[in-house]
Amino acid sequence: MHPLLVIVLGATLLTVAGIAFGGTFLLRIANGGVATNDLQKSFFRAGHAHAGVLVTLGIVVAVVTHVTGASPGWSATGSIAVLASAILVPAGFFLSVLGANPTRPGRMMHSVWLGAASLTAGVVISGVAVLAAGISAI
């Protein structure tokens, strides 16, 4: 496995503590401890869910590309692109509804679309790398 990817995976595993803390924030919102409107509640929920799912997917992609013998460079590129989406998508959801009582998402919503592009690129790169590894092994 590419050393840069190993470092990124180590840092990613540490972010799981932050995602868990985000869950406690959602519980405070649900219990009325944090004043939010309906838009903020739904965006905070979406941001938290996407963070957990995309971090998990990024780790799975890194392991699958490594186990199948995909090129370390392509494996790292694809996996890091997927993991970058795990930052960009939730950040867009969280930061686009900051403020006292937003009625619609702000400019940071562009981060969600940038994250979606990063996710798409990452899974395509990783999928092609895995296919190439399988074909070359035949």
pLDDT of residue 34: 87
State how far the Cα of 51 lies from the Cα of 109, in Å rounded to an integer: 15
State how far the Cα of 25 lies from the Cα of 14, in Å rounded to an integer: 18
Please state, for a pLDDT cut of 70, what percent of the chain lies above it: 100
pLDDT of residue 30: 87
Contacts of 1 (CB under 8 A, 6+ apart): 62, 66, 72, 75, 76
* Range of lowest pLDDT (24-38, 83-97, 118-132): 24-38
Number of domains in the chain: 1
Average pLDDT (117-121) is 98
- Dump pLDDT digits (tens) for 14-73: 999 989 888 888 898 888 888 899 999 999 999 999 999 999 999 999 999 999 999 999
Give the CATH number of the domain where residue 13 resides. Answer: 1.20.120
Over the chain, what is the mean pLDDT?
A: 94
State how far the Cα of 48 lies from the Cα of 137, in Å rounded to an integer: 39
- Taking CB atoms within 8 Å and a gap of at least 24, the contacts of 97-104 are 97/39, 97/40, 97/43, 97/44, 101/37, 102/37, 102/39, 102/40, 103/39, 104/39
Contacts of 38 (CB under 8 A, 6+ apart): none
pLDDT of residue 21: 86
Is residue 101 scored above 90 in pLDDT? no
pLDDT of residue 81: 98
pLDDT of residue 63: 96
Q: How many residues does the chain have?
A: 138
pLDDT of residue 51: 95
Domain region containing 109: 3-137
Question: pTM, whole model, 2 decimals?
Answer: 0.91
Q: Are 57 and 90 in contact (CB under 8 A)?
A: no
